[in-house]
């Protein structure tokens, strides 16, 4: 079955680039101009909408940049404070290590003194336990 020439032309008109093809006639090209104008106007409208929000986007970016700058300064202050604390912790650790060493030495000395003080008492306790009691 053969297609009607008009239907074939309509389908070709839907193919991009075929609208203004030579041989289609000046009338057809002039009829297509309103479609082109409408498409161009729609494009311009879309561009205008996009451009209209640019000031809002710019302001949002400025606000974000200010906040980032503020946070950057805050992070620098915190890093400086942490480094200072780190030095204090290291100094405290060295001090505690020295004090712990001295405490261990003191405890060892007291243990030795207690052993030597208790030793004679153990001997006496041993003698007393071997003695017969008053009722034996």
Q: Which residues contact 20 (CB under 8 A, 6 or more apart)?
A: 29, 32
Is the pTM for the entire model greater than 0.75? Answer: no
Contact (CB, 8 A) for 29 and 20: yes
If pLDDT is split at 50, 70 and 90, which confidence band does 126 have?
Answer: confident
Contact (CB, 8 A) for 18 and 12: yes
pLDDT of residue 53: 92
Q: Name the residue among 107, 129, 110 with its Cα closest to residue 118.
A: 110
Residue-wise pLDDT tens digits, 48-99 = 999 999 999 999 999 999 999 999 999 999 999 999 999 899 999 999 999 9
Residue-wise pLDDT tens digits, 29-61 = 677 888 889 999 999 999 999 999 999 999 999
In the chain, what is the straight-line distance between the N-terminal and C-terminal CA atoms, in Å?
A: 141
- For helices 54-130 and 26-52, the axis angle rounded to 10 degrees is 40
């Amino acid at each position: 079955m053969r297609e009607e020439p008009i239907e074939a032309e309509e389908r070709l008109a839907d193919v991009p680039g075929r609208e203004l093809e030579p041989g289609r006639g000046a009338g057809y090209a002039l009829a297509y101009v309103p479609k082109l104008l409408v498409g161009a106007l729609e494009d311009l409208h879309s561009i205008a909408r996009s451009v209209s929000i640019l000031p809002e986007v710019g302001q949002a970016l400025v606000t974000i940049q200010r906040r980032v700058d503020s946070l950057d300064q805050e992070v620098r202050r915190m890093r400086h404070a942490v480094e200072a604390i780190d030095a204090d912790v290291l100094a405290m650790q060295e001090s505690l290590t020295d004090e712990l060493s001295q405490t261990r030495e003191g405890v060892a000395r007291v243990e030795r003194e207690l052993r030597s003080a208790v030793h004679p008492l153990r001997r006496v306790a041993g003698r007393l336990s071997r003695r017969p009691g008053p009722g034996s």
